[in-house]
Every structure is written in structure tokens, then in C-alpha cells.
Amino acid sequence: DAGVTQSPTHLIKTRGQQVTLRCSPKSGHDTVSWYQQALGQGPQFIFQYYEEEERQRGNFPDRFSGHQFPNYSSELNVNALLLGDSALYLCASSFSSSPEAFFGQGTRLTVV
């Protein structure tokens, strides 16, 4: 049973560019959440998707947007990249009825 998978694993982008990160949830899970983890910090909640809709959102600007597809996979899009967006982006999946979230290995984004 594959766990949560994220792609790509590493990415380098230039300031002002746009980026799309992808996530496939653990088999059977219907809820996907995205987190940003800066170096030396705990993960910060960006938003959560369920039934193809954004259900909750953390304190992140509108430059961060997402999507969930009918197969429950998800994308995170970041527009107008800033140097401060450099971080490990984590995707977590869960059943909608359970708080137990399982994380992928993350995508390391570097903005130069």
C-alpha cells in the first residue's frame, strides 16, 4: 500500500515565477492538507481540501492556491514566488472523519 507521495522532491525557481506541487494521498484517504515547513520550524498549515473544495485555510496569502481532483489527489500552486517561500512543502492525507494525518516526504522548494 503506497503511502502519501509527493512530486517533485526538489525544485529550484526564480523570484516571480509560479510553481505547482503535486500530492497523491494514501489509498482510501479523502482529505488532503498542505503545510509549509521553514528550516528549523514546525510545519505551518496552508489549507485543507475535501470533496474537491477548500475546507479550511491557514494564514497564507492568496498567492497560495490549490486544487483537489476527483481521485483525491491534490496540487498546491504558488504564484509570484518570493525568496521567503523557500521551504519544505508537506502534503498530508487522512480520512475526513479522523484527525490522524499521514505525511509525504515533502517537496524542497528553493527560490533564488
SS3 for 83? helix
Q: Residues 68, 106, 109, 111: which binds other proteins (CB under 8 A)?
A: 106
Q: How far is the CB of 48 from other proteins (least distance, A)?
A: 7
Residues 6+ apart with CB under 8 A from 111: 12, 13, 14, 15, 81, 82, 83, 84, 85, 86
Q: How far is the CB of 110 from other proteins (least distance, A)?
A: 13
Pick 69 or 102: Cβ nearer other proteins: 102
Q: Kindly indicate which of the ranges 12-20, 29-37, 67-75, 78-86 contains the residues binding other proteins, using the contact rule CB under 8 A.
A: 29-37
